[in-house]
Amino acid sequence: MRIAMIGTGYVGLVSGACFSEFGVHVCCVDKDAEKIERLKRGEIPIYEPGLDDLVARNVAAGRLSFTLDLKEAMQGVDAVFIAVGTPTRRGDGHADLSYVYAAAEEIAANLDHYTVVVTKSTVPVGTGREVESIIRRVRPAAEFDVASNPEFLREGSAIGDFMRPDRVVIGAGSERAAEVMRRLYRPLYLIETPIVLTSLETAELTKYAANTFLAAKITFINEIADLCEKVGADVHDVARGIGLDGRIGKKFLHPGPGYGGSCFPKDTLALVRTAQQVGSPLRIIETVVDINDKRKKAMAERIVAACGGSVEGRTVAVLGVTFKPNTDDMRDSPSLDIIPALQKAGAHVRAFDPAGMHEAARLLPGVEWAKDAYGTLQDADCVAILTEWNEFRALDLKRVKASLKRPVMVDLRNIYNPEDMVRAGFSYSSIGRPGKAKAL
C-alpha cells in the first residue's frame, strides 16, 4: 500500500515512520524546505526515543521518503493523511483549522484517482465534512472519501503507542474507505487490537472525549491531593485504593503541578468552545480548565512557602522544565508559569533539563542554565523538581544537601519518599502526602 502524510510534525512524522514499519510506502510532505532537507539527511527535528532508528531503517528500505511536492507524494496513493497543526486560535480558544483546510485545497488540486483523505490531526466535530465539501467544491467529479483516524500517541512513548495501541478509532465516510483503512491497519488486526469503526463525527468527538476525560482524571487526583494535605491522608494510597477498582483504573492518577503539553490544554479548551457553541456546555471540563490554570500558578506559591515565605534575593534551583520526561517539548509546561512567578517574587532561578533547555532558554528569559542536575544546586536556597526525569530520581542526597545553602526540596512530582528525605535531613514537601516539612 502507499500513503502520503501531510505534515512532518510530531504526529505526522511518528505515524508516517510507523506505517512504513508496517510495510506501507509512505511519502511525508511538508512546506518547510529546511525541515525536509534535514529529514532527508536523517536528522530528526523532534526528540522521541527510537524515532531516529525507525526513520533510518525505513528510509534505507525504500519505504519512507520526504518531499516538498504534494503532487509527487500523492502519486498512486491509497490514502492521504492530513497531520498538520491545529493550534488554539488566538482570542477564542477554538482550534485553528486554517492549516487543515489549506491542506484540503491542495489535496483537491492533486487528486487523480480514488483516494481516501484521512484527518489525523485532532479536529473538532464537523471538520471531516468540511474537508469533504472543500474538495468537492474544487473538484466536483473527483473520486474520494473522507475518513477520520485520530491518534492517541503520548510523547516519549509514541512509537510503542502506535505499534501496540489500546485501540484504533476510524471514522469512515463509506465502506470503500473503511476497507482501505482496514488494510492499512492489518498488522494491528493480527495482534487483535480492537478497532472502533464508526462515523466521521463520532471518531472526531471520541478523540476529544478521551483527552478531556484524562485531563479531568488528573485534575481530580490533584484536588484530592490538596485535600489529603489538609486532612493528613496520603494521595498515593488513595490513588491505589481507588485505581484497583477496574471501573476507575489506576493510570493517570498521579498528582502533580497540573497537566501541560501539546494536547490536553488545547483539546480541553477546544471541546469547551465546541460544546458552548452548540448549546450543550461541558461544565465539568470548563471547571477542569479553570482548576488546572490556577494550579500551575499556585505551584510557585508552594515553593515560596517552602523557602519560608519569601524568595526575594534567593536562588531557586529547578530540575526539569519540560511538561513531562522524555521529551524536549515545552508547550504549556507548568514551568512556564512557575519560573516567571518565582522571578517576579524576586528569586534568581537556576535550572537544568536533560532535553528541553534549548527551547526553554527562548521562552524563559533570565534563567541561568546549568550543565547538569548538580550544577543547579550550588548555594541555592531550595531545589524544586518540576519534571520527573529518571536521572532526578536517584540523586546523591548527601551531595545535594552539601551543595545547597539550605536543605529544602519541593518535589512537585513525588519522586522521593517523604520519610527518607526527612531522615536525610531535608525540609521536604511534595504533593498530597502527609509528614510536615521539617522546620528550618
The residues annotated as belonging to the active site are: 263
Is 256 annotated as belonging to a binding site? Answer: yes
- For CA atoms 417, 419, 420, 424, the dihedral sign is positive
Is 296 annotated as belonging to a binding site? Answer: no
Among residues 48, 78, 155, 353, the one that binds ligand UDX under rule CB under 6 A? 155
In angstroms, what is the minimal distance from the CB of 47 to ligand UDX? 12
In angstroms, what is the minimal distance from the CB of 59 to ligand UDX? 25
Among residues 19, 162, 259, 352, the one that binds ligand UDX under rule CB under 6 A? 259
390 pairs with which residues across the strands? none
C-alpha grid cell, residue 220: 481530580
Which candidate, 204, 193, 199, places its Cα nearest to that of 167?
Answer: 193
With contacts defined by CB under 6 A, name the span among 19-27, 36-44, 259-267, 280-288 that binds ligand UDX: 259-267
Site string for ligand UDX, 164-203 (x = CB under 6 A): ----------------------------------------
Binding of ligand UDX by 392 (CB under 6 A): no
Contact status, residue 122 vs residue 108, Cβ threshold 8 Å: no
Is 155 annotated as belonging to a binding site? Answer: yes
Phi (first) and psi of residue 227, to 5 degrees: -65, -40
Give residue number: closest CB to ligand UDX: 263
Phi (first) and psi of residue 318, to 5 degrees: -115, 125
Binding of ligand UDX by 154 (CB under 6 A): yes
Among residues 22, 101, 220, 252, the one that binds ligand UDX under rule CB under 6 A? 252
In angstroms, what is the minimal distance from the CB of 155 to ligand UDX? 4
The set of residues, in sequence order, having a beta carbon less than 8 Å from that of 58 and lying 6+ positions away, is 17, 20, 21, 26, 64
The set of residues, in sequence order, having a beta carbon less than 8 Å from that of 236 and lying 6+ positions away, is 414, 432, 433
Is 260 annotated as belonging to a binding site? Answer: yes
Binding of ligand UDX by 51 (CB under 6 A): no
2 pairs with which residues across the strands? 25
Site string for ligand UDX, 210-239 (x = CB under 6 A): -x--x---x---------------------
Nearer to ligand UDX, 173 or 256 (CB): 256
Binding of ligand UDX by 256 (CB under 6 A): yes
With contacts defined by CB under 6 A, name the span among 148-156, 170-178, 229-237, 396-404 that binds ligand UDX: 148-156
Binding of ligand UDX by 47 (CB under 6 A): no
Binding of ligand UDX by 152 (CB under 6 A): yes
In angstroms, what is the minimal distance from the CB of 222 to ligand UDX? 7
Is 206 annotated as belonging to a binding site? Answer: no
The set of residues, in sequence order, having a beta carbon less than 8 Å from that of 281 and lying 6+ positions away, is 272, 275
Which candidate, 25, 20, 22, places its Cα nearest to that of 2?
Answer: 25
Which candidate, 331, 332, 318, places its Cα nearest to that of 386?
Answer: 318
Q: What is the DSSP letter of 88?
A: B
- Residue 62: CB atoms within 10 Å: 9
Tell me the C-alpha distance between 404 and 428, whole Å: 13
Binding of ligand UDX by 323 (CB under 6 A): yes
Is 122 annotated as belonging to a binding site? Answer: yes
Among residues 63, 296, 324, 350, the one that binds ligand UDX under rule CB under 6 A? 324
Full strand arrangement of the beta sheet holding 64-67: 64-67, 25-29, 2-6, 79-82, 115-119, 144-148, 168-172, 195-198
Is 440 annotated as belonging to a binding site? Answer: no
Tell me the C-alpha distance between 240 and 414, whole Å: 15
Is 86 annotated as belonging to a binding site? Answer: yes
Is 337 annotated as belonging to a binding site? Answer: no
Phi (first) and psi of residue 316, to 5 degrees: -110, 125
Which candidate, 128, 435, 412, 85, places its Cα nearest to that of 267?
Answer: 85
Residue stretches of the annotated binding site: 30, 35, 86, 122, 152-155, 207, 252-256, 260, 266, 324, 331
Instruction: List interacting residues with ligand UDX (CB under 6 A).
Output: 151-155, 211, 214, 218, 252-254, 256, 259-264, 323-324
Residue stretches of the annotated binding site for NAD(+): 30, 35, 86, 122, 155, 266, 331
Residue stretches of the annotated binding site for substrate: 152-155, 207, 252-256, 260, 324
